[in-house]
Amino acid sequence: MARREEHAWAPPVLQGDRLEAGLRMLELEVRRRLDGLLQGNHLGLVPGPGSEPGEARPYQPGDDVRRMDWAVTARTTVPHIRDTVADRELETWVVADLSASLDFGSAVCEKRDLVVCAVAAIAHLTGGGGNRIGALISNGETTKRIPARGGLAHARGLVKTVAQTPRAPEGTRGDLAEAIEQLRRPPRRRGLAVVISDFLGEQDWQHPLRALSQRHDLIGVEIVDPRDIDLPEVGTVVLSDPETGKQREVHASPLLRREFAAAAREHRDEVAAGLRRAGAAHLVLRTDSDWIADMVRFVVARKRRWSGAVR
């Protein structure tokens, strides 16, 4: 793994005796680089358009057809959608996948570090104004539920709990679909649901995610490491599946590397398509990229889209 000190944008170390200092550094960095996004009209910044009905306006390409106002459309014979007004209080729920496949990183950090960073950013972007945030944290062996509450102390405690979640024993398979299902039942008040995972393995999470979208605005945060999408040119390499414990020694020939890259690309395309079918916004965070810059681009694009600046 590359040295974190060589990259100013790398997440701080969030393990062992450096955990407390790392969490403080993370909070300061999130506030410094994301606070500017909270200025001005924040309608739809991360929470989405809200659920209270607003005014109707003519449909434009790119609008969500689920907001079509059929009564106005029938009366005017012109397609209209119903804009919505941001809720005064937002309840956000985060599903944090910390299964064994995220206990890995070949760049400047492990994938699980980016899960913690993403939770910290979401907590900051949705905090204040009576908003609440809760979480379901699953490492495959256990699932911990943190009730939705407001306040800075609660948000800090939530991020710390995610960071301190123990690693599951080798061979423990994660169950993202079950974690999403636990969030869906019992039904909660309408709000924002954020699912953070590398989405590797079976895609049985798609059905519960689509069901969740019927009540909540969705964001899917995909955590990616370079070794998830290509094999290094290093000759013989041992491939290991941390969620089954199986290992296999292979020769990283040019043909195998091409086939691996093609399979990885196909899988990521399927993940993107699954999130799109569920109506979820898709954010990709990589262990070899400036994660806050990627978050900024995502939030700015989302803010502009909901405010009507981009169609």
Q: What pLDDT, in 10s, does the model give residues 12-45?
A: 999 889 999 999 999 999 988 887 655 544 444 4
* pTM of the predicted protein model: 0.82
Computed over every residue of the chain, the mean pLDDT equals 86
Residue 9 scores a pLDDT above 80:
yes
Q: Tell whether the model's pLDDT for residue 185 goes beyond 60.
A: yes
Mean pLDDT of 123-138: 90
| Number of C-beta neighbours around residue 282 at 10 A | 17
CB atoms within 10 A of CB 131: 22
**Backbone phi, psi, residue 248, to 5°:** -150, 130
Between 18 and 303, the more confident residue is 18
Contact 134, 149 (CB under 8 A): yes
Dmax (CA) for the chain in angstroms is: 68
Determine the Cα–Cα distance for residues 266 and 82; give it in Å rounded to an integer: 36
Amino acid sitting at position 7: H
Between CA 279 and CA 288 the distance in angstroms is: 27
Among the listed residues 110, 161, 102, 111, the one whose alpha carbon sits nearest the alpha carbon of residue 133: 161
Distance CA 281, CA 125 (A): 16
